[in-house]
Each structure stands twice: as C-alpha cells, then as structure tokens.
Amino acid sequence: MEWETVIGLEVHAQLMTRSKIFSGASTAYGAAPNTQACAVDLAMPGTLPVLNEEALRMAVKFGLAIGAEIPDRSVFARKNYFYPDLPKGYQISQHDQPVVANGYIEIDLEDGTTKRIGIIRAHLEEDAGKSLHEDFHGLTGIDLHRAGTPLLEIVSAPDLRSAKEAVAYLKKLHSLVTYLEICDGNMQEGSFRCDANVSVRRKGDPCFGTRVELKNINSFRFVERAINYEVERQIDLLESGGQVVQETRLYDADRNETRSMRTKEEATDYRYFPDPDLLPVVITSEFIESVRKTLPELPDAKRDRFMEQYGLSRYDADVLTSTRELADYYEAVVRAAGQDQAKPAANWVMGELSGALNRDGIDITASPVSAEMLAQLLQRIADNTISGRIAKEVFEAMWEGEGSADEIIEKRGLKQITDVAAIEAMIDEVLAAHPKQVEQYKSGQAKLLGYFVGQVMKLSGGKANPAQLNQLLRQKLGSAGE
C-alpha cells in the first residue's frame, strides 16, 4: 500500500515590537518574573486594551511579502478559556477577519524543482504567560512577563507532502520573517514556534485522512523527526486495521515519540466573539503603501540577483541568502575584494567562515573575521602572495585575533616564493638528495612527480608557488619513462 502524507503548519512568530500588543509594557526577553507586566497585562478590573500600531504594521509587512490580501477591515476576537497563565480568561486573537489572507511562499524541492505552499491566513494575537511547575513545592508559579507579547500566527494550507517539505517551508518562513525584521527567529527562546497538522491517505485518494495536531516542536530537527514518527504511527495504525483519532499530541524530543494530549471530544468551545473593547481595525491603502515602502529585498529576489550579479549557482546563492546577515556579509566581502573575487568569496564564506562560526557557535554579526579582513585574504591569494593552503593558516590566525591577513603573512613570514631561481635551487637540492627516486621516475614511475613536489614544498616551508613549482620540476626532470 502506498501512502501519502499531508501536512499543514501553524507557526507562531513573536513580533519584535518594543512594547506589548495591547499595553505599553516592555517585551524584552529574560527579565525577572512578573516585572514586565502592567495592570493591563495582569487583567486588573477596568483596564482596557489598546492596539499597538507597530504590531499591525509588521503583520501587514508580512502579508505584502507573501503576496497576500490585506483586507481593509480586520477584527479582533476573544478566544475564551480558563487557564491560570491567561489573565483575562480569554485571549485576544482574530477569528473570521484576520489581517492577512491567501498568500504563499515557494520552497525548493530535492529534485531541483520549486513548489508553491499556500498560506491561508496570518492573524495577530497576544501571547499568554507561563506556568512554572518546578521550585514551588507542589504549587504552580505564574509568570505573566510574556503575557501580551504580540504573535503572528501563520497558517499554511495542507500543501506539504513530507517532513522534508515541512522543514523546507519552515526554514523559508524563518528566513522571511527575519529578513523582514519582524521576528528574531529565536526558536530556543520561543520566538518562532511550530505546530503541525499531520494526516496520511492512500495515494490518489481525493479526501484527507483524519488529522492529528502535533505540539511543542521547537527546532527544525524536531519538526522532521516528530512528523516522521507521527506518519509512521498513523500508517501502522491504519495498516493494522485501526483508525486515526482526531486529537492533539505532544512531541517528546527525549523519547522521540508523540503522546496524546486531548482528543476532539475534549476540545474546548472557545466561544469566539468580536472583542467589544477594540473597534474593527480599518486598514487604509495609504497605510499599506507606507508599509510597502519599508519592505527589504526578499530572499527569493536576492537569490536571483546573486546568481545574476555574481555568477553563482542556485545552490550557492540560496545558501548565501538564507539570512539577511549572511548575504550582507558576502556582499561586503565582494565589495572590498572586487567583483572578480565573487566566486572565491562564496567558497570562503560558505566554507572556512561558516565552518568556524558553527564550530564556535558564533553568529555572523559577531564574526572575529570581518568582511574586509576576509576580502584582504582573498586578494593575497589572487595576487599570489600566498597559496590557498597558506591562506587557511592565515584565516585561522585571523580568527584567533592575531591581526589582518597582511600582518599575519608578514609576522609569520608566509609570503609565497615566486622567485624562479630560488625555486630552482630548492628543486636541485631535492633531486640531488634523492638520486634513486629520480632514476625510478625516469624509468617510468610518473607518480613520483607528486613526491618531489611534496619534498620541495616541505623544504620551502609551504611557501613555494605551487604552479611555478610544478612547471619548473617538469622542466628539470624531463618527461617520465622515455
């Protein structure tokens, strides 16, 4: 039996406003519990919400970036349920008139094609607080610090057909919201959270199977694992004659499994109704145009420009534009090193630099090797001052804070030897020291050329220009096995 997976994702992106969505309290992360909750956030009697215009602006910006419809009227609704960290007993959210409707993004598939993933809606809402179950001797602590933080809930269409596609979509979305500077994308701190609706059906079946909502999947890796686990669970269930139950399941990353949280029968009736404390939001075309002016170059457009302007492959351009900071760094390197260094710059940024950043867990904006420093290094390779191999040593030294490429080359005496006489002298010395190998080479063992190159290179301390060395060595030895 062939099965098809159907996935839709709901992403909660925390918007980077300075104050909360309906109050003036700060949204900064990490302050002591309950220190950033004002009377409105605490739902003190008589307090009222007032919409933060910046949150609306960010939502509209997102809508414009995904080619969505921005209705001229949007309505906030109350989602009613009791929970200790939900101070008002309802969450202000949006129900049937969200601020963004019907957009899409494109993802790259493994076979090299692209696929359009629909985004049904994106709506604004406030976050709840946190319940803390540890350290309170059997009691529960409530931290309302996060209560009222603005969220944009982004709901995809059920267009995703595998865990890999889900991850590609999520990464693309992550890149987009950070490009737009509306979300910091920090998954560990919960700024970018994902729930997945997963179902399976027989290939060719026009109807969707029963879906299960997976909660608590807070990294790209877990999304893939959780979905794959869930898909297998559902297929096993169906193939053994069982049925999938519509329910919410929690992903346990430690055990790599999903567990039932609540079934549909237990689902709450949220009694949505328009919030009478907030008038419908009227979004004028002037407002939309003012937001459009703030749109940066978006990832797809930047990728296409990188391919065109720097002659990069689609893959390289994709990697380099995966974040706005990486793309900015790359362009700064090319600006400083020269257009002819576009390809080497891509290789170095994606290779040595990314490797070092990953190894040390450093963000590109805090890289000890600046774009200008890397550009100088590329120029020294290009003008034959150093070889590519020596350049790696210089890079490591720069990374350790020893100075610029020129300073390190000078201090360590790494300047490449390009003087023909000096190289010839070293060749002569090596050949004289290895008469037996010279005999063997001449009698046909051509691969010994590499051995001689290595010996001369060693003698030069790695500084002999490799191209010159090869050429001069061939001249001295004559061809092998005549």
Partner 1 sequence: MHDKTIAELSAALAARELSAVELTQALLDRIEAHNGTLNAFITVTAEQALEQARRADERIAKGEAGALTGIPIAHKDNFCTAGVLTTCASRMLHNFVPPYDATVVARLEEAGVVMLGKTNMDEFAMGSSNETSYYGPVKNPWDTERVPGGSSGGSAAAVAAGLVPGATATDTGGSVRQPAAFCGVSGLKPTYGRVSRYGIVAFASSLDQASVIARSAEDLALLLQAMAGFDERDSTCVDLAVPDYRAGLEQPLDGVRIGLPREYFQDGVEPELAKVIEAAVEEYRRLGAEIKEVSLPHNALAVAAYHVIAPAEASSNLARFDGVRYGYRCENPRDLEDLYMRSRGEGFGTEVKRRLLIGTRALLAEYYQDAFLKAQKIRRLIHNDFIEAFKQVDVLLGPTTGAPAFRLGEKSADPVQMYLTDVFTIAANLAGLPALSLPAGQVDGLPVGMQLIGRHFDEARLLNLAHRFQQATDWHTVRPQNFE
Closest to partner 1 by CB, 110 or 269: 269
42 binds partner 1 (CB under 8 A): yes
315 binds partner 1 (CB under 8 A): no
| Binding residue for partner 1, selected from 46, 204, 241, 413, defined by CB under 8 A | 46
Interface stretch with partner 1, choices 47-55, 170-178, 256-264, 322-330 (CB under 8 A): 47-55
80 binds partner 1 (CB under 8 A): yes
Closest to partner 1 by CB, 131 or 404: 131
SS3 18: coil
- Say how far apart CA 248 and CA 241 lie, in whole Å: 21
Interface stretch with partner 1, choices 46-54, 335-343, 397-405, 439-447 (CB under 8 A): 46-54
Closest to partner 1 by CB, 144 or 180: 144
- Helical segments of 349-480, H only: 354-360, 371-382, 388-399, 405-412, 420-433, 435-442, 448-459, 466-477
- Say how far apart CA 148 and CA 40 lie, in whole Å: 9
User: Shortest approach of partner 1 to residue 294 CB, angstroms?
Assistant: 25
User: Shortest approach of partner 1 to residue 267 CB, angstroms?
Assistant: 11
The CA R_g of the chain, rounded to the nearest whole Å, is 30
Give the per-residue contact string, 237-276, with partner 1 (x = CB under 8 A; - = no). --------------------------------x-xxx--x
44 binds partner 1 (CB under 8 A): yes
**In the range 130-189, which residues lie near partner 1 by CB under 8 A?**
140, 142
Closest to partner 1 by CB, 20 or 88: 88
User: Shortest approach of partner 1 to residue 271 CB, angstroms?
Assistant: 4
278 binds partner 1 (CB under 8 A): yes
Alpha carbon separation from 36 to 30, 40, 51, 137, 148 (Å, rounded): 10, 11, 18, 25, 10
Which of 324, 387, 285 minimizes the C-alpha distance to 70?
Answer: 285
| Binding residue for partner 1, selected from 18, 67, 89, 221, defined by CB under 8 A | 89
78 binds partner 1 (CB under 8 A): yes
Closest to partner 1 by CB, 212 or 281: 281
Residue 28 burial class via C-beta count within 10 angstroms: exposed 0-12, middle 13-18, buried 19 and up: exposed
Q: What angle do CA 164, 167, 173 make, to 5 degrees?
A: 145
Indicate the helix (H) or strand (E) that contains 288.
helix 285-292
Buried residues in 414-445 as b, exposed as e (16+ CB within 10 A) = bebbeeeeebbebbeebbeebeebbebbeeee
Alpha carbon separation from 380 to 71, 410, 419 (Å, rounded): 55, 12, 17
Closest to partner 1 by CB, 124 or 183: 124
- Say how far apart CA 348 and CA 378 lie, in whole Å: 9
| β-strand partners of 119 | 103, 156
User: Shortest approach of partner 1 to residue 246 CB, angstroms?
Assistant: 16
SS3 198: strand
Closest to partner 1 by CB, 84 or 355: 84
- Say how far apart CA 165 and CA 360 lie, in whole Å: 29
Q: Total residues contacting partner 1 (rule CB under 8 A)?
A: 29
User: Shortest approach of partner 1 to residue 39 CB, angstroms?
Assistant: 6
Closest to partner 1 by CB, 278 or 356: 278
45 binds partner 1 (CB under 8 A): yes
User: Shortest approach of partner 1 to residue 74 CB, angstroms?
Assistant: 14
What is the DSSP annotation of 50-113? ---HHHHHHHHHHHHHTT-B--SEE--EEEE---TT-TTSEEEE-SSS-SEEEEEEEEE-TTS-
47 binds partner 1 (CB under 8 A): yes
**In the range 204-233, which residues lie near partner 1 by CB under 8 A?**
none
Alpha carbon separation from 219 to 56, 226, 369 (Å, rounded): 27, 10, 28
| Binding residue for partner 1, selected from 82, 206, 284, 359, defined by CB under 8 A | 82
Interface stretch with partner 1, choices 44-52, 179-187, 188-196, 437-445 (CB under 8 A): 44-52
Is there a contact between 9 and 163 (Cβ–Cβ < 8 Å)?
A: no
**Could you list the residues that contact partner 1 (CB under 8 A)?**
39, 42-51, 78, 80, 82, 84, 87-90, 140, 142, 269, 271-273, 276-279
